[in-house]
């Protein structure tokens, strides 16, 4: 059997060939594929030359298929349908999906966004599992390899080339302390940041934050008496001591009763915490991950309003 070099073939002839074999009429076949009758006649001539067979011959007042054409007709229609399937955007059915969605995030995301995401998975995609993973320095590489699907971040987070992001919800900072704190009833000033001990979150272990940069601009240096990679541990420490902390208002409000906390407006002009979802450009068109992004948006709207 002679091998056929596809790069040497005019694949644009396949739709006219299929129409001719199906219709057995040049005029009707031309209409099916949007060609004029002369253009279809030229296509038929090229096909006859290419295949070395007349394909359609006159008999009994019409055109009939040659034996070679009959064989081609049986093969061509399903072959073209399979080729169309390569380019067809199949409808995504979340109820049939079976997969673990992995998102890098902090305990704030696991606690605030995890439950509403999981609730939506259970209702629409019961075969999906949710896994919140720790942040790491190689998150984009993990996303590109498929080991990680998304990461929660802020609009202020610098993204590397190859990463995409979408804003999902807005939060803001709150100054948090226990209800019986010595400064619970006073009006807080920037200078008070230097007078009281602080509990802080250091997700990446460096202990630095935008808050410290804001304080440094005011000539204020705070003492951090407690540091943890977990926001909930930081709130627990604040509830059991005279430490204060400044973190997500939505998260602090969630545990205000649990740890007997009060929330104050920070005496600083701080940018809002604009939450984003980050993913790799390589998987931007993945139907499951596109659907999941919509679920995360819905969950964030429920939490942050």
The span from the CA of 39 to the CA of 16, in Å, is 10
Tell me the average pLDDT across 252-264.
97
86-105 pLDDT tens trace:
776 667 899 999 999 999 99
Mean pLDDT (the chain) is: 90
Q: What is the pLDDT of residues 209-247, one digit of tens each?
A: 778 888 888 889 999 999 999 999 999 999 999 999 999
Model pLDDT, residue 269: 78
Domains of the chain: 6-87 (1.10.10.10), 94-171+274-304 (3.40.190.10), 173-271 (3.40.190.10)
Q: Is the pLDDT of residue 7 over 70?
A: no
Instruction: Assign 5 a pLDDT band (cuts: 50, 70, 90).
Output: low
Mean of pLDDT values over 75-92: 76
Residue 28 has pLDDT above 60, yes or no: yes
Q: Is the pLDDT of residue 183 over 70?
A: yes
94 or 271: which carries more pLDDT confidence? 94
Question: 116-145 pLDDT, tens per residue?
Answer: 999 999 999 999 999 999 998 899 899 999
More confident residue, 107 or 18: 107
Q: Which residue has the higher pLDDT, 174 or 3?
A: 174
pLDDT band at 1 (very low <50, low <70, confident <90, very high): very low
Q: Is the pTM of this model over 0.75?
A: no
**Integer CA distances (angstroms), 286 to 36, 86, 107, 291, 304, in order:** 39, 15, 27, 9, 27
Q: What is the pLDDT of residue 4?
A: 53
Share of the chain above pLDDT 70, in %: 94
CA dist 117 and 65 (Å) reads 59
| CA dist., res. 170 & res. 104, Å (int) | 18
Residue pair 21/69 in contact (Cβ under 8 Å)? The answer is yes
Q: pLDDT at residue 62 above 90?
A: no
Q: Is the pLDDT of residue 38 over 60?
A: yes
> What is the spatial distance between Cα 1 and Cα 187, in angstroms, rounded to a whole number?
90
Position 91 scores a pLDDT of 78
Specify the pairing of strand 128-133 against strand 99-104.
parallel
Residue 112's pLDDT is what?
97
Q: Specify the pLDDT at position 8.
A: 61
């Amino acid at each position: 059997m002679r091998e056929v070099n596809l790069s040497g073939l005019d694949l644009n002839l396949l739709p006219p060939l299929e129409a001719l074999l199906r219709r057995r009429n040049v005029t009707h076949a031309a209409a099916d594929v949007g060609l004029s009758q002369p253009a279809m006649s030229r296509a038929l001539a090229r096909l006859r030359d290419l295949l070395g067979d007349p394909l359609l011959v006159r008999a009994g007042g019409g055109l009939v298929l040659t034996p070679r054409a009959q064989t081609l007709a049986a093969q061509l229609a399903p072959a073209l349908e399979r080729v169309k399937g390569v380019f067809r955007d199949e409808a995504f059915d979340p109820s049939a999906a079976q997969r673990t969605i992995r998102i890098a995030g902090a305990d704030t995301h696991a606690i605030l966004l995890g439950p509403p995401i999981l609730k939506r998975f259970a209702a629409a995609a019961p075969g999906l599992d949710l896994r919140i993973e720790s942040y790491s320095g190689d998150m984009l590489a993990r996303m590109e390899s498929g080991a990680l699907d998304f990461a929660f971040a802020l609009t202020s987070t610098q993204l590397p080339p190859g990463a995409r992001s979408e804003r999902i919800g807005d939060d803001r900072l709150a100054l948090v302390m226990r209800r019986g704190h010595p400064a619970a009833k006073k009006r807080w000033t920037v200078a008070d940041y230097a007078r009281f001990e602080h509990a802080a979150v250091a997700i990446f272990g460096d202990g630095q934050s935008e808050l410290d940069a804001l304080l440094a601009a005011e000539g204020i240096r705070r003492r951090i008496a407690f540091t943890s990679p977990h926001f909930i541990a930081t709130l627990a420490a604040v509830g059991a001591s005279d430490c204060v902390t400044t973190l997500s208002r939505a998260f602090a409000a969630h545990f205000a009763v649990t740890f007997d906390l009060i929330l104050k407006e920070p005496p600083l002009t701080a940018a809002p915490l604009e939450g984003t979802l980050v993913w790799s450009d390589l998987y931007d068109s993945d139907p499951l991950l596109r659907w999941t992004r919509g679920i995360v948006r819905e969950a964030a709207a429920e939490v942050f309003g």
